[in-house]
Amino acid sequence: MDPETSDGGCPKCGHTETEVGEISTTGGGMSKMFDIQTNHFQVVSCTDCGYSELYRDTRRSGSDIVDVFLG
C-alpha cells in the first residue's frame, strides 16, 4: 500500500482499528544508572498486523494520537 495515496488507516496494511498503550524508558547518564524512567511514550498499534508507532507523551488524549496514526 502506498502511504502517499492512502485514504487513512494503518500505514502497513490499511486496517482502521487500533489499540493505544504506554511505555516508559530510561534516558541516559544518571537516570539510566538509577533506572529512573524519564521518557514516556504512547504506543499506537494496528489490531490487525501489529504495526506500532511511538509518540512522545504530551498528556493529550489518546484519540488525538490515533488520528495522527491513521492519517
pLDDT 10s digits, 46-60? 999 999 999 988 774
pLDDT of 10 reads 95
Q: Is residue 2 over pLDDT 50?
A: no
Helices (H), 1-71: 30-33, 62-70
* Residue 40, beta-bridge partner list: 24
List Cβ neighbours of 33 (8 Å cut-off, separation of 6 or more): none
Q: Scanning the structure block, which residue is given the C-alpha cell 533506572?
A: 35
pLDDT tens per residue, range 12-71: 999 999 999 999 887 766 555 555 657 889 999 999 999 999 998 877 444 555 555 665
pLDDT of 67 reads 58
pLDDT of 25 reads 81
Domain boundaries along the sequence of the chain: 18-70
